[in-house]
Amino acid sequence: MKQEHAVVVGGSIGGLLAAFGAAGSFERVTIVERDQLVDGVDARKGAPQGRQPHAFLPIGMKLISEFIPDLRDQLIAAGCPTQDEIRDIPYISSEGWRMRIDSPLESIGFRRPLLETVIRQNLLKLPNVEVHAGSVIGLIAKDNLVTGVRLKSGEVLECDLTIDATGRSSQAPKWMEELGYDRPAEKHVRAYMGYSSQLVRLPDGALPDGTKGLAAMPFPGHHTGGLIFPQDNGLHIILGVGMMKAYPPGDRESLLEYLDAAPTPLLGQIARQSEPVSDVSTYRVSGSQFRLWHQLDLRPDGFVVTGDAVASFNPIYAQGMSQAAQGGIALRDALSNAHEDPRPLPVRFQEGLAKFTEVAFAMAGMADAFYEGAEVEGMDPPDPAELEYFMNLERLSGEDPDVLLELAEATYSMELERLETVEIRAKVQAWVDSGKPQTKTFNPAEIPGVASIVRG
Ligand SMILES: Cc1cc2nc3c(=O)[nH]c(=O)nc-3n(C[C@H](O)[C@H](O)[C@H](O)COP(=O)(O)OP(=O)(O)OC[C@H]3O[C@@H](n4cnc5c(N)ncnc54)[C@H](O)[C@@H]3O)c2cc1C
């Protein structure tokens, strides 16, 4: 039997996907959002990251397709291009250019507000979901049960389940304290990163033949980098990225100079040919943050937390929206499996979400913890032997297309265990034992062609 009412606080991607997850189990789902939600491509105040590039990992697309099976087609119809991540977006790292091969790893170019619009339009076709304008300032509770939310306007919305999806600056830990519970413990890996980006139009021929963008991200020892990535409707975005406070600047001329110092000079050369379509937008964040809601000893019933309010990651790794999608799926599943698992819903849900978040956080945290001076709090620093293993894996992926595809697929699908199999470990060890032969090109100014390969 359906419960009466669920309230989702926050109407960004985390909230929309949570509402999808709740819609089958409640008579009514109300999303409370403080911003006015307008369809289109413009970023709004409550989600300022909408001006920055957003890529959806294949795992996120797969998860969200459980709610919107034809999302890919809808995005394409809205003017979003698709690209083969490995073949079409040349990528240079500390190990040189990644091999370019045909792969099944497709990504889609869009401005984030457009993706949010498409998801919201699909959600609001459900007859029991609506958006309510307002700003939530606290919870109401009785006998260890959250029974609703209080709005700044003085209004109270009563419900059976409250879902906090208010993002990284969520006040839920404070709301817990107000009700007499502990705050969740937190993990942080701070490598102080910044984005500066500008929407542009690229003239024909600006990008090297056969490519649709270019990625040259920072890495330990080289703290500046950037990206040129396709967006919807014929646009591209140019992005400067800095780590360890090597923040990119906020005006175009300085941004172009900043891109000249990326791991390849091609980024600046291509960006210089672009025609600006927007101002330069900047964004800074201290690092990845994980609130361990799944480990809370005492908690009220009727209240869960999802999306960036649980964990927000260094955006370079493009994990946040996939985690939001997992939040929707985990909520749907926790609501429907009550008969199999007698534990309270918040325990079932937070654990279902944490399975994903723990892997995503380990991947982002491990990579960032190796920047000299990065701050690690609430967890052990990663094991240098593990880093060495993953560095060798990345080096080997430059030589071996099977390893490259396994590495990319495991990263993009959040299946870290695929990289730790006996077989892969043995392959890496054999390569190390053979003296790590380097056969690939490492000329930063020369993009490798697409390799025709015979898979081993
Ligand atoms: C620079 C940058 C780049 C990123 N790039 C990527 C990427 O490439 N790929 C990827 O997957 N992810 C990326 N992310 C992460 C992604 O944006 C988020 O994971 C995603 O938007 C889901 O966040 P959310 O909905 O949980 O929170 P948010 O998007 O922060 O939304 C929170 C919502 O809650 C509302 N709100 C807040 N407080 C209240 C309140 N008290 N009452 C009512 N409403 C409230 C806000 O107005 C807002 O709409 C990036 C993030 C940043 C910062």
**Cα separation, 241 vs 36, whole angstroms:** 30
Confidence category of residue 438, pLDDT binned at 50, 70, 90 = low
In short, whether 364's Cβ falls inside 6 Å of ligand 1 is no
263-290 pLDDT, tens digit each = 999 999 999 999 999 999 999 999 999 9
Strand, helix or coil for residue 77? helix
Confidence category of residue 11, pLDDT binned at 50, 70, 90 = very high
In short, whether 271's Cβ falls inside 6 Å of ligand 1 is no
- By DSSP bridging, strand 136-142 and strand 145-151 are antiparallel
- Ligand 1 centroid–CA 48 distance in Å is 8
In short, whether 80's Cβ falls inside 6 Å of ligand 1 is no
Give the model's pLDDT for residue 183: 97
Is the model's pLDDT at 439 over the cut of 70? no
Mean pLDDT, the chain, integer: 94
376-426 pLDDT, tens digit each = 999 988 888 888 898 889 888 878 889 999 998 898 888 888 998 999 999
Confidence category of residue 196, pLDDT binned at 50, 70, 90 = very high
Count CB atoms within 10 A of the CB of residue 443: 10
- Ligand 1 centroid–CA 258 distance in Å is 27
Compute CA distances 387 → 85, 166, 429, 440, whole Å. 24, 34, 14, 22
Sign of CA dihedral 338, 344, 346, 352: negative
Compute the C-alpha angle 435/441/444, nearest 5°.
125
**Cα separation, 151 vs 367, whole angstroms:** 40
57-102 pLDDT, tens digit each = 999 999 999 999 999 999 999 999 999 999 999 999 888 888 999 9
Q: What share of the chain is helix, strand, coil (3-state, %, to 5)?
A: 35, 25, 40
Confidence category of residue 443, pLDDT binned at 50, 70, 90 = confident
Is the model's pLDDT at 440 over the cut of 60? no
- Ligand 1 centroid–CA 177 distance in Å is 24
- Given a contact cutoff of 8 angstroms between Cβ atoms, the answer to whether 63 and 21 are in contact is no
Ligand 1 mutation pick, 54, 155, 175, 323, max ligand atoms within 8 A of CB: 54
Count H helices and E strands in the chain, helices first.
13, 20
Of the candidate ranges 11-25, 118-132, 253-267, 379-393, the one whose mean pLDDT is the lowest: 379-393
Confidence category of residue 454, pLDDT binned at 50, 70, 90 = low
Percentage of residues in the chain with pLDDT exceeding 70?
98
Give the model's pLDDT for residue 133: 98
Ligand 1 mutation pick, 34, 36, 304, 331, max ligand atoms within 8 A of CB: 34
- Ligand 1 centroid–CA 184 distance in Å is 20
238-248 pLDDT, tens digit each = 999 999 999 99
Is the model's pLDDT at 432 over the cut of 80? yes
In short, whether 8's Cβ falls inside 6 Å of ligand 1 is no
Give the model's pLDDT for residue 453: 64
Query: Amino acid identity of 63?
Result: L
Residue nearest to atom 16 of ligand 1 (CA): 320
